[in-house]
Amino acid sequence: MTLVLEAAAKSALLAFLLLTATAYTVFLERRLLGRFHHRIGPNRVGPWGLLQPLADGIKLLAKEDFMPRAADRVVYLAAPLIVMVAALFAYAVIPFGPPVELFGRRIHLYIANPDAGVLLVLGASSIGVYGLILGGWSSNSKYALLGSLRSAAQVVSYELAWGLSVLSVVLTAGTLRLGGIVEAQRELWFVVKQPLAFVVFFLSALAETNRAPFDLPEAEQELIAGYHTEYGGLKFVMFYIAEYVAIITQSALATLLFFGGWLGPVLPGVVWFLLKTAVFVGVFIWIRATVPRVRYDHLMGLSWKLLIPLALTNLVVTSLFVV
């Protein structure tokens, strides 16, 4: 009973923290993009613009809540929910640090620690594709439908390279548990042992999260806003949150799989984990400020002609060394 209570409390806290973190990731992105572009960025709402996410939230909530007349109502409403829940779900298995003593109890900084933690994260991120496809289809608009197909093709293509690069890490660590993978890096971070896997992982993560230079779902010239063209207000917010949660997820995973997770001197483990994750979020934004959007066939070519063969080769070589 207490275990269930503990899990429920942790889930609620995590959901709250994640949504706040998401809102402030958007703020951080706008401020950082400003500085990268030699300007200031939002600084009017509250001290240093810190209340900007609140203002954005109020604005989005106050927007007209429309629905296309010919839309498939149930699916149309379910799609953003599926995308958001799938994005949040990955956090059930992400460990934030080593266990801590609190109120005389040993508290684990994760909600669940299944044997196949990595597979669960993989699965959760692929469920999100259903939301994209259903959202585009149920809107009953050609633009949204084409946009959703394109996004789905992109996500599926990069999911392959992404999974293969993670597999090399799993092989090196000898476990699918995320906590175990971190512990296996006590001697040496996997970014040193598996540099190729990291490059493939990072590029695929950029494409998976629809970030620049791979933000093709949002090619305004051809498809308006892609799969969420017909969404507005709160339902659009859910797609948006999912996108930013995914960025934090990928940053957290990069930290766990390649940069030693919570391992680090002096500071407590959680702080190290959050620091490393924040740095990755910053790198995502940095790349967005620098690299222009690629063409769609280049996007597909990069995955199928370069990343997947590279990841496969790396996987074969790794397994030869392990066995």
Partner 1 sequence: MNRTVRRAMVEGAAILKGLGVTARYLFRRPVTLQYPEQRPRIPPRFKGRHWLTLYEDGDERCVGCELCAIVCPAQAIYVKPAENTPEKRVSKGERYAEEFQINMLRCIFCGFCEEACPTGAIVLGHDFELADYSRQALIYTKEMLTEPYPGASGRDPRREV
Residue 290, CB half-sphere, CA atoms under 13 Å: how many?
6
Closer Cβ to partner 1, 90 or 203, answer by number: 203
Among residues 73, 105, 286, 322, which is the contact residue for partner 1, using CB under 8 A?
Answer: 286
The verdict on 40 binding partner 1 (CB under 8 A) reads yes
Site for partner 1 in 116-175 (CB under 8 A): none
User: Least distance to partner 1 from the beta carbon of 226, Å?
Assistant: 24
Structure tokens at 320: 């030869």
Specify the stretch interacting with partner 1 by CB under 8 A; choose among 96-104, 161-169, 183-191, 283-291: 283-291
> Does the protein bind partner 1 through residue 306 (CB under 8 A)?
yes
Q: Does 39 bind partner 1 (CB under 8 A)?
A: yes
With CB under 8 A as the contact rule, the residue among 268, 305, 317, 319 that binds partner 1 is 305
Residues 6+ apart with CB under 8 A from 282: 28, 32
The four Cα atoms 202, 208, 209, 211 give a dihedral, to 10 degrees, of: 70
Contact between 47 and partner 1 by CB under 8 A: the answer reads: no
Closest by alpha carbon to 55, among 15, 16, 23, 22? Answer: 23
Q: How far apart are CA 23 and CA 20, in angstroms?
A: 5
Give the shortest CB-110-to-partner 1 separation in angstroms. 33
Tokens of 133: 């496809």
* Cβ at position 284, least distance to partner 1 in Å: 12
Of 146, 289, 300, 312, the residue at the interface with partner 1 (CB under 8 A) is 289
Per CB under 8 A, the segment of 122-130, 145-153, 236-244, 288-296 that binds partner 1 is 288-296
CB of 37: closest distance to partner 1 in angstroms? 7
Q: How far is CA 278 from CA 20, 32, 78, 262, in A?
A: 14, 13, 31, 13
Would you say 51 or 176 has its CB closer to partner 1? Answer: 51
- Is the Cβ–Cβ distance between 142 and 84 less than 8 Å? no
Q: Does 35 bind partner 1 (CB under 8 A)?
A: yes
For residue 214, which amino acid is it? F
- 95 vs 118: CA distance, rounded Å: 11
Give the footprint of partner 1 on this chain (CB under 8 A).
32, 34-40, 286-287, 289-291, 301-302, 305-306
